[in-house]
Chains A and B, each alone.
Chain A
Amino acid sequence: MSLRIVVTVKYVPDATGDRHFADDLTLDREDVDGLLSELDEYAVEQALQIAEAADDAEVTVLTVGPEDAKDALRKALSMGADKAVHVEDDDLHGTDALGTSLVLAKAIEETGYDLVISGMASTDGTMGVVPALLAERLGVPQVTLLSQVSVEGGVVRGRRDGDSASEELEASLPAVVSVTDQSGEARYPSFKGIMAAKKKPVKSLDLDDLGIDADEVGLAGAWSAVDSATERPARTAGTIVKDEGEGGKQLAEFLAGQKFI
């Protein structure tokens, strides 16, 4: 029986660009390039490895986002995913994490799945809650923050490295998994992969297709609201000294002056 893997990915603004808020206090996407969230590349990689180890498996990448978000899907397809689903709807503008998880959960159910794999967090919002939200909404086990993952005989196993302990986890499929950047280096798309990606199917869905009312999502439907966003004042220029042999002592003097010693 085929193993159906859905990887949730996010198209995010490049962190090395100049990210700022638009007038409605959502992310201004106009002035900054977007890309597949780096942490999602690890999810795609683990999905591909699990699929390669299985007899028969299919990897679908799923994103929710504007037209440009297709770039994120394209990257994942060129890495080796089989097909893509893009949920796109003007009413989704400003959707928060809870709304996003609602849309993703409906799209995952619509697509059909045995295993959902996500990155540990997005590199823009960095909340890290979507995998747990998906598990809650789908009513399946969460096996999250894994640095190591494997699937065999309808069971997913993995290692979760927490602050106070390292845990070995196990759950039956269907399940939601999230992986950390320690799970394994993500592959680069090959030229062949990039060419093949152009022919792979990308299915578009909107809110109607998923049976979601517009007022459940978007800025107006959000469960939380940003009231203000202020640019942090530039730090006042600090004291910078060149070490001429006394640099450590000078630094100690500074720390003593600040009462750290």
Chain B
Amino acid sequence: MAEVLVYVDHLDGAVRKPTLELLTLARRIGEPVAVALGNGAADTADVLAEHGAVKVLTAEAPEFADYLVVPKVDALQAAFDAVSPVAVLLSSSAEAKEIAARLAVRIGSGIITDAVDLEAGDAGPVATQSAFAASYTTKSRVSKGVPVITVKPNSAPVEAASAAGAVETLAVTFSAQATGTKVLSRTPRESTGRPELTEAAIVVSGGRGVNGAENFAIIEALADSLGAAVGASRAAVDAGWYPHTNQVGQTGKSVSPQLYIANGISGAIQHRAGMQTSKTIVAVNKDAEAPIFDLVDYGVVGDLFAVVPQLTEEINTRKG
């Protein structure tokens, strides 16, 4: 059966959820062969095997952490040459998209980014994407070479599927470009204990109406009652109320959770571009004319400082 290369996104051996989603999609096209690089690569094998990886190719070398992107491209290319897959799948993180792009040039292939679904087609995998701030849905194919496709988190269910997951060491020869960009230092982001924004099943966001950094505590309390990630509109980020890494929208992160709750966010097109594919959309805003209400499944016209704490309390009560 045809093999599909799946690039593993992991942190010191802990596989991130979007990679498990990729394995679900990869199995629609062929047999997943996972590629795990860097510190803890071999530790990923068990969970990858439980989700359908027939083989796990691993490589550990200091270059993966000490230099930007290119060492990983070299390794993925080595895996590509060793396996001859029918497709290469990566999750749509900023770094993985860069890896995908460079690999595509090297192997003479087309690239599709930010797919929200993937199925087998007569002429290779067919990717569903969402265009123009999610006002269109497109179906695309790679027409030259072996398809390199990046998939947005939350695009497929995580499904258990037992497979061999045989670990093999991947031999990598680094290119001359590999050491071009040095990582002088790396400061890990402090964990909030909340789910990663792009991976979260529920996202609770705050915007201009939150009116101050200190008021984001109200948004965080609601998020915590639901086990949700916290997002922020560009207005809130530009005002310095919340970190840029939490920004949802065209210039921030694109999210597609099961539930999106927008608080004090008017819903400008730039914000909608980043959240419009959310399955269920809820908004709280005191302006009844706010464009966000055109998108919602349920909206409350009201003061978020009254509505949100009441909602949080009610959720906590119901949870008992």
Contacts and interface: CB of A to CB of B under 8 A. Distances in A.
Interface stretch (B35-43, B107-115, B162-170): B107-115
A160 B185 CA distance: 11
A224 B143 contact: yes
Given A182-B244, A235-B294, A129 B111 contact: yes
Given A142-B68, A260-B226, A229 B131 contact: yes
Interface string B175-218: 00100111111111100000010100010000000000000000
Nearest to A260: B259
Interface of B: 11, 68-70, 73, 93-95, 97-102, 104-106, 109-114, 126, 130-145, 177, 180-189, 196, 198, 202, 226, 244-245, 250-251, 254, 258-259, 269-270, 273, 280-282, 284, 288, 293-303, 306-315, 318-319
Contacts of A157: 184
Contacts of A127: 97, 113-114
A126 B219 CA distance: 28
B110 A98 contact: yes
Contacts of A227: 126, 138-141
A248 B113 contact: no
A224 B309 contact: no
A20 B136 contact: yes
A225 B202 CA distance: 33
Contacts of A101: 105
- Which has the most chain B C-beta neighbours within 10 Å: A16, A101, A142, A256? A142
Interface in A141-172: 141-145, 147, 157, 160-172
Contacts of A238: 281, 293, 295-299
Interface in A234-261: 235, 238-243, 245-252, 254-256, 258, 260-261
A173 to B, nearest CB: 11
Interface stretch (A43-51, A131-139, A202-210): A131-139
Given A132-B102, A255-B282, A260-B259, A166 B307 contact: no
A57 interface: no
A149 B110 CA distance: 31
A132 B309 contact: no
A194 interface: no
B142 A128 contact: no
- Which has the most chain A C-beta neighbours within 10 Å: B100, B105, B308? B105
19 contacts: A21-B131, A38-B251, A98-B111, A126-B254, A129-B97, A129-B101, A132-B102, A136-B73, A141-B181, A163-B189, A170-B181, A170-B184, A171-B180, A229-B136, A235-B297, A243-B303, A252-B318, A260-B202, A261-B315
A249 B189 contact: no
Contacts of B68: 141-144, 160, 167, 169
B102 A19 contact: no
A147 B109 CA distance: 31
Contacts, number: 269
A228 B111 contact: no
B45 to A, nearest CB: 21
A74 to B, nearest CB: 23
Contacts of B295: 235, 238
B233 to A, nearest CB: 13
Contacts of B93: 163
A164 B192 CA distance: 11
Nearest to B191: A164
A39 interface: yes
Interface residues of A, number: 84
A122 B174 CA distance: 31
Interface majority SS (helix, strand, loop, mixed), chain A: mixed
B69 A142 contact: yes
A222 interface: yes
Contact of A143 (B181, B299, B306): B181
Interface of A: 15-16, 19-21, 25, 38-39, 96-98, 101, 120, 123-124, 126-133, 135-137, 139-145, 147, 157, 160-172, 175, 180-182, 222-232, 235, 238-243, 245-252, 254-256, 258, 260-261
A171 B179 CA distance: 9
Shortest 7 CB-CB distances between A and B: which pairs? A243-B302, A248-B310, A223-B110, A141-B180, A129-B101, A248-B311, A252-B314
Contacts of A96: 110
B250 A225 contact: no
A239 B114 CA distance: 31
B105 A226 contact: no
Contacts of B280: 258, 260
Contacts of B244: 147, 161, 180, 182
B94 A145 contact: yes
Nearest to B108: A223
B315 A242 contact: no
B138 A229 contact: yes
B140 A248 contact: no
B300 A243 contact: yes
Contacts of B131: 21, 229
Contacts of B281: 235, 238
Nearest to A250: B300
Contacts of B182: 169-171
Contacts of A261: 226, 315, 318-319
B102 to A, nearest CB: 4
Nearest to A244: B302
